[in-house]
Every structure is written in structure tokens, then in C-alpha cells.
Amino acid sequence: MDPLARLTQALEQTRGLVLVVTGAGVSLASGIPTFRGKDPGAVWAKDVTELGTVRYFRQDPAGSWQWYLGRFEKVLAAQPNAGHRALVELERWQLARGGKFLLVTQNIDPLHERAGSKELVKVHGSAEKVRCSSQGCRLGAPDGWIARAEVDLTAFLANPIDANVPRCPECGALLRQHVLWFDEYYNGHNDYQWTRVLAAAASAELVIFAGTSLSVGVTQLVHEAALERGVPAFSIDPAAQALPGVVAVPVAAEIALVELGQRLGFPGSEK
């Protein structure tokens, strides 16, 4: 039986929680570069892990804002692809059967929401939000944030210096990106819903990884939990490997997920 057929069968037999974890590969077809991927635009190929840190933001607030604004222009302009839409259909299909579903994305782009995903956790934050850098401020961690669209960037765009970095309207501290930086923790902000992710990892009856290398914290945690409990797990990605307890589906997410929908008979399946 081919891997996609095995996944189709596993889904048909699962009425409990289906946990899907997506990574940058899901959004590649929408024109957003991956991080650890091998495509020419892969962000990590530029060795920018030092830029995505609290440390760098504190050293060079304007530089941090410039880098993110340059990247987020493409991120926020992107549109969902067939893979995002297929995951929406999978959610609807599973819930309509009386089952449970949760999509945990490592992506900070807004494409799952734009496609229509409802049972969604953005565990690394969102490009559509910023927050106060002052811990405990109403608009900062652990609960607060501001919609990026509400922040006036006119002065900073005209002259990107530290003095023009946007400031919190509540307390006057510098605003920062509402994303999980490399020197931060998943439980650093309640919007990341880390407790919900832990609960899902401990109760899922089927796990699907899509467009991710399974090499960062949340994927490792979910993989280990599935392996320990003997839960079926599948990895959809062109570079997918048959890791312990994981069936590799070495196909691009936007292709495999649409094919999966066709096999399951989703009403919105498309070629």
C-alpha cells in the first residue's frame, strides 16, 4: 500500500483527535521562503538566527524592525494555496464525522486563517500582530498584543532609526514583533497556546506533519509523544524521511493534501 493510501485509511479509522503540524513547506507554493528547506530562498541559508532574537532586538531595535518589515511584506501579501485549502476541508470532514481536529502551525503567516482554518494554534506567533516589549504591560506578554495594521509606521519607514521605532500606546516602551524568537520559550506568551499543544500531543490518535523537517521543538515533542504512545504518524514533505514511527509521504504538501482530499471525497477537493 502506498503511503498516501495508508494515510487515507488511517484517517477513515480515526474518530478521535487528528493533530496536524505544519511548517514552512506548506506555504512555499504561496511564494514564502522556507527556513530549513533547500529552496534557494530558504531564510536559514542566510544564517539569520542571530537576527531573530531578543538579544538582537535590544542591541539594534531599528535593525530588527527593518529586517522583519522586509520579510513580512511578502508574507502578508501572500495568498493561501491548495494545501491550505485542503487542510480546511480535512478539518470540516473530521468534525462533521464527530471527530476532533487541531492544526498547529509553526508558520507566522496568515494563510491558514485566510483559507478558513478554525481549530488553529499559531505556536510561533503571527506576522499580523506586534506587542509591547515590556513584560506585564497590558499590550505585552503574557497576554497582550496589537494588530499590526493599527500601528503607524510612517516615521520609521521615512527614517528607520531607533528613535522612530514604534512605541506602545499604553506605556511608551518599544513595540516588538509578536513572534517566538530563537532565545525565547513556547510558554512566553499565552497567545502561543502551548498548554493546548501539550494536551493535543498527549491525546492525539493520529498525527500528520506537513511541510516541516521535524527538527524544531514542537515537532520533536509531538513526534516523541506519538512514538511513546504508538500513535500513527505521517510526514508529508518532498524531503520526508522514514523516522522512527513516522511514515514518509515524499510529496509536496499542496499536491499530497489535495490528493488526500480527493481520496476521502472532500466536496471542495481540487486538482
pLDDT at 35 over 60: no
pLDDT at 144 over 80: yes
Alpha carbon distance 71, 83 (integer Å): 22
Q: Can you give the pLDDT at residue 46? A: 41
DSSP code per residue over 126-163: EEEEEEESSTTSTTBTTT--EEGGGS--HHHHHS-SGG
Q: Which residue has the higher pLDDT, 239 or 49?
A: 239
| Cβ-proximal residues to 88 (8 Å cutoff; 6+ apart), any chain | 115, 116, 117, 268
Give percent of the chain above pLDDT 70.
93
- Fold of the 1-32+80-124+190-264 domain: Rossmann fold (3.40.50)
Q: Can you give the pLDDT at residue 43? A: 45
Kindly list the domain boundaries of the chain, sorted by start residue: 1-32+80-124+190-264, 41-77+129-179
Give percent of the chain above pLDDT 90.
84
Q: Can you give the pLDDT at residue 61? A: 97
Q: What is the pLDDT of residues 181-239, one digit of tens each?
A: 999 999 999 999 999 999 999 999 999 999 998 877 899 999 999 999 999 999 999 98
Instruction: State the chain's mean pLDDT as an integer.
Output: 92
Q: Can you give the pLDDT at residue 49? A: 76
Q: Can you give the pLDDT at residue 45? A: 41
CB 168 within 8 A of CB 70: no
Q: Can you give the pLDDT at residue 42? A: 45
In 3D space, the residue among 22, 93, 55, 68 whose CA is nearest the CA of residue 177 turns out to be 68
Name the pLDDT band for 173 (thresholds 50, 70, 90).
very high
Q: Can you give the pLDDT at residue 44? A: 43
Do 1-32+80-124+190-264 and 41-77+129-179 share a fold?
Answer: no
Catalytic residues: 124
Q: Which CATH class is domain 41-77+129-179?
A: alpha beta
Q: What is the pLDDT of residues 54-105, one digit of tens each?
A: 999 999 999 999 999 988 988 999 999 999 999 999 999 999 999 999 999 9
User: What is the distance, to the nearest Å, from the Cα of residue 93 to the centroid of all Cα atoms in its chain?
Assistant: 21
Q: Can you give the pLDDT at residue 268? A: 56
213-220 contacts at long range (C-beta below 8 A, 24 or more positions apart): 213/23, 213/36, 213/37, 213/237, 213/239, 214/243, 214/246, 215/36, 216/106, 217/186, 218/21, 218/104, 218/106, 218/123, 218/186, 219/21, 219/23, 219/106
Segment 25-44 mean pLDDT: 69
Segment 143-151 mean pLDDT: 97
Q: Can you give the pLDDT at residue 216? A: 73
